[in-house]
Amino acid sequence: MFSYVTLVTNEDYALGALALARSLAMTNAAWPLTVLAVREAPGLDALAAAGCRIVQADPPPLSAGFRQRHSRQSQHARAPFTKGNKPAFHDPLDNFAKLRLWQLEEFDRVVFLDADAIVIHNIDRLFGYPEFAAAPNLYESLADFHRLNSGVFVAQPSRRTFDAMLQALDQPDAFWPRTDQTFLQTYFPDWHGLPYIYNTLQYVWFNLPQLWKWDAIRVIHYQYEKPWEENHPKREQLGPLIETWRHVYEHGTLPPHLPSPPEPSP
């Protein structure tokens, strides 16, 4: 048995996850979406009504020191974000709850998707990839290819792996600058690379527009600013992609006319 999995710890990400659920339905996904829900959040009922299975989970058991080092305030101070902005509702500590998916042993394999992603063409074939497969953290230049982005990945649930991960994660003084993403790249040094079309980061739109091929792109991932944020500094630049997200969220279909990406700068 397989499942798509996402993580929701608050109302904002529940809203994102609903767009994700609708996008999976839109692309005739063969497997359901399991929502790992840490804490009660308004919006979980709507996800259940949309056919998601809600699995309540506690935040992972992490030491007080670890939690302090990865609080929003200290994480932003120790590893400032220089390329984009995280919304106020993003708590870096919550990212580590993703690791709970390794406890879902009822599934032979899962495809994890961030709640700020939408699927625009079917991605069922990802279940044919082994653990650990992820796409590059590509949004600025070629130099991005050596890092992975943890917004989309293929994993094989196993409680043994989960326990081993927690051991490796919460070492004395451990600090993971980009939270689960840095950790997963370290834990799986031989990660398998997926093509960027499985996790196309929204900044590709303006930084690498020559890579924006609507026919090829399968997942759009709205990293940094979220398309449902009231006001964010990149609203103008990302307007067409925000409209695309909104259309999927509201209608469960792609807009009839997909916008053309900006001209590449010379």
Contacting positions for ligand UDP (CB under 6 A): 6-10, 13, 90-91, 94-95, 114-116, 151, 223-224
Closest CB to ligand UDP among residues 88, 266:
88
**Smallest distance from the beta carbon of 257 to ligand UDP, in angstroms?**
27
115 binds, among ligand UDP, Mn ion, none (CB under 5 to 8 A by kind): ligand UDP
Instruction: Report if residue 151 touches Mn ion, rule: CB under 5 A.
Output: yes
Task: State the sign of the Cα–Cα–Cα–Cα dihedral 142, 147, 152, 156.
Answer: positive
Closest CB to Mn ion among residues 72, 158:
72
Task: State the sign of the Cα–Cα–Cα–Cα dihedral 170, 160, 48, 33.
Answer: positive
Closest CB to ligand UDP among residues 172, 224:
224
Q: Give the C-alpha separation, 110 to 101, whole Å.
A: 8
Closest CB to ligand UDP among residues 71, 158:
71
**One-letter identity of residue 255:** P
**Smallest distance from the beta carbon of 206 to Mn ion, in angstroms?**
18
Instruction: Report if residue 12 touches Mn ion, rule: CB under 5 A.
Output: no
Instruction: Report if residue 227 touches Mn ion, rule: CB under 5 A.
Output: no
Q: Which residues pair with 54 in a beta bridge?
A: 35
Closest CB to Mn ion among residues 92, 151:
151
3-state helix, strand, coil in the chain (%, to 5): 40, 15, 45
**Smallest distance from the beta carbon of 181 to Mn ion, in angstroms?**
9
**Smallest distance from the beta carbon of 39 to ligand UDP, in angstroms?**
9
**One-letter identity of residue 40:** E
Q: Which residues pair with 219 in a beta bridge?
A: 119
Cα 193 to Cα 95, 133, 252, 259, distances in angstroms: 21, 6, 30, 28
Q: Is the peptide bond before 107 cis (omega within 30 degrees of 0)?
A: no
**Smallest distance from the beta carbon of 83 to ligand UDP, in angstroms?**
11
Q: Report the site for Mn ion in 111-140 (rule: CB under 5 A).
A: 114, 116
Q: Are strands 109-113 and 148-155 parallel, antiparallel or unpaired?
A: antiparallel
Positions that interact with Mn ion (CB under 5 A): 114, 116, 151
